[in-house]
Chain A
């Protein structure tokens, strides 16, 4: 094969590569949904939208008329009183190593709400960090931790 043909092919390939790159370089970038709803970003392993970083457990789980008197998160290692204060009734200490979502879990970093366990992600609210999405692989770290459920 002549050198000219080789160069032509490589040049053509480069041109196509440039066009492909131009059309796809940010294809999987998360985009704003509206001027008010900005795209989430990764913060220490949590995919989170701005505005959700201050969400507390009581704000998220409150099922009473008002939870303004309740603590943001349980104090101590037993959350039963706190759960009652936000009208989460019928919640019991979970049995077994594997938490069943939706559940309240006590971790070394603090309390967390595992709201949903999906095929590709976990939807969580973390004490001090707010609400966001964790990768599915993070579930392994929740085995064996004390948990309470079902939340509603």
Chain B
């Protein structure tokens, strides 16, 4: 019976990760409510977290079932700790700190992925603004407090609501005191989205029609763009290794015609394959590269990281390659004027996982207070303002071209300046929470 209830509690969480938005504010409430009732709340929370993450990430099983399973175990440990903290009945401080710390660890550690109700709020920009103050950790805390208030009695509800409004008012104060927005970033960029499913790439080497379609979807629109523009192609838009092949020739022709080019591609260096971003400015003879960090060992076993400096894009931009955008620390360049994410979401079909990953890019924009362009192979490609508001976007799963003349200037934020301060603050608060006295338990189910 406990397992059935754990799955029932996991479903609103998984749905929240899928659709995002305000459901995140209440999705933790069933887990919290039942953690108060069950004997061995850790085991109950573990089951709930396991199913929550497994259901959300099953779309990645196409790469390997080990990925959703390993991440589900991590999710289970996080939710198990939360349920244990709720079961102690010592007030909202302990569960809140456990929730934020468990989430923060999942966002900061490689081999893990940050799935969080708080991060789900980023899909509605009007709900994500507190992240400029305290990042995803603050959004997570707000979701935890609202769910706590819903699932507890009058006294604890009052404590949780007071804490909720203190955090919200602090974030509002930060908005008022934020420095003024900097000058717009003039880019003249063209983002090309091929709108092709992943299978086309997987067999392009033996299927001439597939190969031709890939070239038609990327090289034709790129060649038709007026000279002097910055052409942005997503991760592995053309899946060839940089060097002597037709892709390289096509990119050279584009560069020779007067375009600057940013494209995700593979290249061989020192005998190893690197998943990389190439930037080739019109004025330069040869391109520069930035290789992707190896974050998903099973999927990226063919790739090796090369220790090389980060690329500086036109107008002071910085680039993140695909899943790097899911980890806040890779966006932490205070000197960046705008951010770029090149992605290949098509690798996980149209599942919850890609929707959760995509949302993280918007959260990075809000946290850092920078405009952000995201170029996806078959979407979701867009430009967002430093507040996370969608400025322009292309339809998902379809080919398209997005022309961007300029982006809103940077809007400095405390989260961008001070890093994940709320996460670090939660460590001493955790000690305080552990010292608080537990209330007597109610009879078990």
Contact = CB atoms under 8 A, between A and B. Distances in A.
B246 to A, nearest CB: 15
Given A27-B351, A52-B207, A132-B203, A12 B213 contact: no
Contacts of A26: 350
B203 A123 contact: yes
A77 interface: no
Contact of A119 (B62, B301, B349, B350): B301
A103 interface: no
A119 B302 contact: yes
A27 B7 contact: no
Interface string A17-48: 10110011011111101101101100000010
Contact of A23 (B18, B37, B206): B18
Given A13-B8, A60-B206, A132-B203, A1 B352 contact: no
A9 B30 contact: yes
Contact of A16 (B11, B200, B203, B397): B11
Interface in B194-226: 196-197, 199-200, 202-203, 205-207, 209-210, 213
Given A13-B12, A20-B11, A24-B352, A31 B206 contact: no
B14 interface: yes
A120 interface: yes
B206 A1 contact: no
Contact of B199 (A19, A39, A116, A131): A39
A115 B196 CA distance: 22
Prevailing SS type, chain B contact patch: helix
A36 B209 contact: yes
Given A13-B8, A49-B203, A133-B203, A27 B63 contact: no
B200 A37 contact: yes
Nearest to A15: B11
A121 interface: yes
B207 A24 contact: no
A33 B200 contact: yes
Prevailing SS type, chain A contact patch: mixed
A150 B9 CA distance: 56
B350 A33 contact: no
A125 interface: yes
A145 interface: no
A131 B209 contact: no
Nearest to A131: B206
Nearest to B445: A1
Contact of B209 (A51, A60, A132): A51
A29 to B, nearest CB: 7
A115 to B, nearest CB: 5
A132 B239 CA distance: 18
A12 B27 CA distance: 11
Contact of A28 (B18, B59, B202, B209): B59
Given A13-B8, A51-B209, A133-B202, A20 B197 contact: no
Interface string B53-71: 0010011001100000000
A89 interface: no
B7 A13 contact: yes
Contacts of B5: 6, 9-10
Interface of A: 1, 5-6, 9-10, 12-14, 16-17, 19-20, 23-24, 26-31, 33-34, 36-37, 39-40, 47, 49, 51-52, 60, 115-116, 118-121, 123-125, 131-133
Given A19-B15, A31-B197, 10 more contacts: A12-B11, A13-B7, A20-B55, A24-B18, A27-B59, A37-B200, A39-B197, A52-B207, A123-B205, A132-B206
Interface of B: 4-5, 7-9, 11-12, 14-15, 18-19, 30, 33-34, 37, 55, 58-59, 62-63, 196-197, 199-200, 202-203, 205-207, 209-210, 213, 301-302, 349-352, 397, 445
29 contacts: A9-B5, A9-B9, A9-B33, A10-B5, A13-B7, A13-B12, A14-B8, A16-B14, A17-B11, A20-B15, A23-B19, A23-B352, A28-B59, A30-B199, A37-B213, A49-B207, A49-B210, A52-B207, A116-B205, A116-B206, A119-B301, A119-B302, A120-B63, A121-B202, A123-B203, A123-B205, A124-B206, A131-B206, A131-B207
